[in-house]
Amino acid sequence: MSSTQATAPSVSDAAIPDRFYEILKGVWGFSSLRPSQEAAIASILEGRDTLVIMPTGGGKSLCYQAPAIYRGGMTIVVSPLIALMKDQVDSLKQVGVNAVRVDSTLTLPEKREIAQELRSGNVRLLFVSPERIASPDFVRLLEGNEVHTIAIDEAHCVSQWGHDFRPEYRQLSSLRNVFPNAAMHAFTATATVKVRADIMDQLQLKQPRMLISSFDRPNLTYRVLPQVELENQILEVCERHRGSGGIVYCLRRNDVEVITAFLQSKGISAVGYHAGMPHEERKRAQEAFLTESIDVAVATVAFGMGIDRSNVRFVLHASIPKSIEHYQQETGRAGRDGLPAECVLFHSVGDVMTLKKITESSLREANASEEIVAASRLQIEEMSRYCQTPVCRHRALVQYFGQSYDLASCGACDVCLGDTDEVPDSKIIAQKILSCVFRVQERFGVNHVVDVLLGARTQAVVQRGHDQVSTYGILKEVPKAQLKDWVYQLAGQGALTLDGTEFPVLKLNPNSRAILFGDAQPRLIRTATKAKERKQAAASEASIHADSGLFEKLRLLRKKLAQEQNVPPFVIFGDTTLIEMSATRPSSLEAMLMISGVGNTKLNAYGQDFLDEITNYCAQNSLEMDAQWKSSVAQSGSSQPAMRVGRTGATGTKNITIPMLREGKSFDEIASKAGITPGTVASHLLEMMETEAISSIDPWVSEATQRRILAAAEKVGRERLKPIFEHLNQEVPYEHLRLVLNFEKQNS
């Protein structure tokens, strides 16, 4: 099997027809695609087998959903979790797409209804769990349907070397025999080189095109900090994001229950979730989080893959994850809407040891091979090194997956932000700790050694005479949690050996002796003593100008409508759409349709409700409607608080966008680099055209679309845009209409 690989993929405008973009705007309200989406969609429209590796939040689902609408016929989507399928079907129905799911939860009447829909030939997307593929009734259910595309979501589940192997995924290659003419496309957010090869082999992809997006998530701020006072550390993060959605991952079920109770006692809206809870209780907890009735989910890793909530503002790990792949997948649930989010990991060497023990025991119970056990152990050690090594977190993650990272500093992680610093007397402190291990004859564990160093008068210390050794109380000024972490840091650096599994004992080794004799320099770190500003990735231009009060009003309206529809709030509109509404404050349905994420179906269903809310709020607060974001200074006199003060204002973004527009870069590429919306880039181009002539607008609007716009303008006139928009069946974005007519005027 051979494949072609494209990293940082790009496609020509001709690869995707104008009609596709018209459907994209009409159905989803998007005027453009990200470059990685363009490449994937072009390959799917070609009917070529494809492996797409795109980070969470990169828009994978649109890559198989939009071509299904454009091409007609049926696309089968294999998805591992029922909750994930339900959310996607609900979201598609909200934009007027006929999609159904087949899974074990369906009642007999529901199955009959779905069978009737499938026989009609009008279903465009069929979501199915991998277990149903093997059912004898499955193929009969699809008789008479043209299945031209099979999309395998969460494709890493097919590989035993992946972070979430599921044996039932191995049978998916049988779809080749059932639908020999269908192209197969595999999608995943994380996959090492070994996993990629296994996916292509197991699914029998035919000469696939492999498209790998950047693994970097620039909107995420990573913090990896030692555990000191874990409950209070967790509370600090939750307080920082009070009122926003967050996930706290725990290693053990008991940890979930203890931390949930602690957060609730502090007034945090939290719910617990783990596999030991009754099914109905887990279901209620998950629904409470998805519907935004609860802010924080405290959970084991059993919670997550089926969570499609786009506005999770933080993901916190209360212990070390199983692997860097797990970490990338789990932190990827933050900021899926592209807005800034925070990922915090509190680690300890003790958790590393516990995790190794739990994982190995679980694998041996499942009769896993020694090769798999060894691979799992190595993954935990790689994760531990990631925590212990003070290098830029964005760079470390990107390089782990085989890509380069060119920035000297990400400005969005604990290392680059200075959240931790090196202990000035690291060598002396390490020598005191190692000397104490020697004085107690290398026969005791971490807790006892720490008690001796602190000068504690515990029964064990006094009975054994360790209150008489020279190292007794030698570090009594250090907080216990901090000292314990330093002992584990030395163990993590190989300067101490933890011998045994049930009750590990601290022992010296050659590295210990090198430090004791001054031949080696250890490095101990601690949380920075001076307060650090909690920075996040730069806000979008819409966030800078959005009115926070209006945004909250729109959130409440969204929640009310979602409850009436019995769907999660993000299915109505995402936070990015509400932020843009709060910034532009449209005065008409025509203006609202210009907002990213507002398509025809949602405009008809919800447009008037949101327009009324915006109009009332602006009247009550004397706010201008149809705001244009002329400049940051012009907005500064408003009495209303902005949602976020970003690091780059409107003038700053023009310094980025104008040179790139002169180079003919696409709106989407410029928007991605400048941290603004494609619509804002279009407005910058229109301003640029007022002062300088441009020879062509072909890089932004295809010649075919230009001809359609001009032909419509000839028929209905050029005075107003709405008649032109309606004459074109509401398929061409307003920014394209403005651009074409301005260009015509400039060259007349």
| CB contact set of 368 (below 8 Å; sequence gap of 6+) | none
Percent of the chain residues topping a pLDDT of 70: 89
Give me the sign of the Cα torsion angle 87, 91, 93, 99: negative
| CB contact set of 31 (below 8 Å; sequence gap of 6+) | 21, 24, 25, 596, 667, 678, 679, 733, 735, 736
Domains in the chain, please, with CATH? 4-212 (3.40.50.300), 220-419 (3.40.50.300), 429-523 (1.10.10.10), 538-628 (1.10.150.80)
Mean pLDDT of 613-622: 90
How sure is the predictor about 541, in pLDDT bands with cuts at 50, 70 and 90?
Answer: low
Q: Is the pLDDT of residue 678 over 70?
A: no
| DSSP secondary structure letters along 166-226 | -GGGGGGGGHHHHSTT-EEEEEES---HHHHHHHHHHTT-SS-EEEE-----TTEEEEEEE
Mean pLDDT of 54-70: 88
304 compared with 459, residue with greater pLDDT: 459
147-193 pLDDT, tens digit each: 889 999 888 888 876 666 777 788 888 888 888 889 999 998 877 78
How sure is the predictor about 542, in pLDDT bands with cuts at 50, 70 and 90?
Answer: low
Q: Give residue 138's pLDDT.
A: 78
Alpha-carbon gap, residue 93 to 87, rounded angstroms: 10
How sure is the predictor about 22, in pLDDT bands with cuts at 50, 70 and 90?
Answer: confident
Alpha-carbon gap, residue 496 to 491, rounded angstroms: 4
Would you tell me how many other CB atoms lie within 10 Å of the CB of residue 719?
8
Degrees, nearest 5: CA angle 671-11-84: 70
Q: Is the pLDDT of residue 376 over 70?
A: yes
**Whose structure tokens read 């500093």?**
409
Alpha-carbon gap, residue 85 to 91, rounded angstroms: 10
Q: Is the pLDDT of residue 613 over 90?
A: yes
The encoded tokens of residue 283 equal 């279901």
Q: Is the pLDDT of residue 342 over 90?
A: yes
Degrees, nearest 5: CA angle 542-547-548: 110
Query: Range with the lowest mean pLDDT among 133-142, 179-188, 515-524?
Result: 133-142
The encoded tokens of residue 668 equal 């989407």
Return the SS3 of 82: helix
Do the Cβ atoms of 230 and 346 come closer than 8 Å? Answer: yes
Residue 567 per-residue DSSP state = S
Alpha-carbon gap, residue 40 to 213, rounded angstroms: 10
Amino acid type, 568? P
Alpha-carbon gap, residue 195 to 162, rounded angstroms: 6
| CB contact set of 261 (below 8 Å; sequence gap of 6+) | none
Q: Give residue 452's pLDDT.
A: 97
How sure is the predictor about 578, in pLDDT bands with cuts at 50, 70 and 90?
Answer: very high
Q: Give residue 645's pLDDT.
A: 28
- The reply to whether the predicted model has a pTM over 0.75 is no
CA dihedral 621, 625, 628, 633 (to 10 degrees): -20
Residue of 740, 601, 38 lying closest to 732 (CA atoms)? 740
Q: Give residue 227's pLDDT.
A: 86
Q: Is the pLDDT of residue 533 over 50?
A: no
Alpha-carbon gap, residue 388 to 517, rounded angstroms: 24
Q: Give residue 631's pLDDT.
A: 34
Query: Range with the lowest mean pLDDT among 218-227, 322-331, 574-583, 673-682?
Result: 673-682
| DSSP secondary structure letters along 276-306 | TS-HHHHHHHHHHHHTTSSSEEEE-TTSSTT
User: Number of C-alpha atoms within 13 angstroms, CB side, residue 731?
Assistant: 14
Would you tell me how many other CB atoms lie within 10 Å of the CB of residue 355?
20
Alpha-carbon gap, residue 616 to 554, rounded angstroms: 12
Alpha-carbon gap, residue 508 to 499, rounded angstroms: 10
| CB contact set of 296 (below 8 Å; sequence gap of 6+) | 238, 245, 246, 247, 248, 263, 268, 269, 270, 271
**Whose structure tokens read 């499609």?**
308
Alpha-carbon gap, residue 590 to 579, rounded angstroms: 18
| Mean pLDDT computed over every residue of the chain | 83
Would you tell me how many other CB atoms lie within 10 Å of the CB of residue 745?
10
620-662 pLDDT, tens digit each: 888 888 886 433 323 333 333 344 323 233 344 566 778 888 8
Q: Reduce the secondary structure of 362-421 to three states and give it as a string.
A: HHHHCCCCHHHHHHHHHHHHHHHHHHHCCCCHHHHHHHHCCCCCCCCCCCCEHHHHCCEE
Would you tell me how many other CB atoms lie within 10 Å of the CB of residue 144?
8
How many residues comprise the chain?
Answer: 748
Q: Give residue 474's pLDDT.
A: 96
Residues 361-374, buried b or exposed e (16+ Cβ, 10 A)? Answer: eebeeeebeeebee
| CB contact set of 365 (below 8 Å; sequence gap of 6+) | none
Alpha-carbon gap, residue 306 to 88, rounded angstroms: 10
How sure is the predictor about 458, in pLDDT bands with cuts at 50, 70 and 90?
Answer: very high
